[in-house]
Amino acid sequence: MPMTDILNLSPVKAARRNKILNAAQHIFVTQGFRGATMEGIAAAVGMSKVTVYGYFKDKDAVFAAVADRLDRQLVEVVKLELRDGQTLKEKIANALIAKHRVVFDLVRTSPHASELFAAKDRTSQQRFRDSDREIEGQIAALLGAGPFGKKEASTIARVFFAASQGIANRAERFDEIEEGIGYLTQIIGPKG
C-alpha cells in the first residue's frame, strides 16, 4: 500500500491495519517468515483472510510493512537520544545503543533471527540502507556542529555506525553491545 494510501485511511481502517501489523510482527518473531501465513495472521487478529488481503497483497507485503514500521522506529529512537542534553560521546553512544536495543530485543532474540534478516534484505533492504544513511547523517550533523568539519564529521559518523553494526552482529548478549559501543565512543570518540 503506497504511503499516500496509508495516510488517507480512516481512523478505523488505520487501527485495523495497525492491529494486523502488531499480530504479524509477533508471528514473524515467534514462528519465522516461513512459519507465518496470511491465514495465521488473520486468525490472530480475528479477521477473515479476505480482510487481511484487503490491506496487504501477500505475506511479503505484510513483512515489508512490519519492517518499514521497525525502520521508522529505529530512526526515531536515534533522533530522541541525539537530542538528549549529555556530552557528545554519550549522545552518540546512547543513540547507537538504543537503535541496537530495539533490533536485539525484537529480532536478534528470536530463534528465527537469520530468517528474518534474510526476509528483511529481500523485501526492505534499500529502505534500511536509506535509514542507515539518515542515522549516519544525524550523527554527522551533531559532530559537525561541534568540534569537527563536515567531511571529518561524516567519516567519523560512518565509522561509528559501521563499527556499532559489527559489534551488534557479533554479540550474543545485549550487554556486549552496550559495552562495545561504550568503548568505541571512548576510544575513538570526540572530545566532550
> How much is the pTM?
0.88
Supply 47's cell numbers: 479477521
pLDDT for res 7: 58
CATH topology of 10-60 equal to that of 70-188?
no
Architecture of domain 70-188: Orthogonal Bundle (1.10)
The domains of the chain are located at: 10-60, 70-188
pLDDT for res 188: 63
Give the closest residue to 95 by CA, choosing from 140, 125, 130, 127: 140
DSSP per position, 11-31: HHHHHHHHHHHHHHHHHHHHH
Segment 48-51 long-range contacts (CB within 8 Å, at least 24 positions apart): 51/16
The CATH superfamily label for domain 10-60 reads Homeodomain-like (1.10.10.60)
Report, as ranges of residue numbers, the positions in the chain whose pLDDT lies below 50.
2-4, 192
pLDDT for res 4: 40
Dmax over CA atoms of the chain, in Å, equals 57
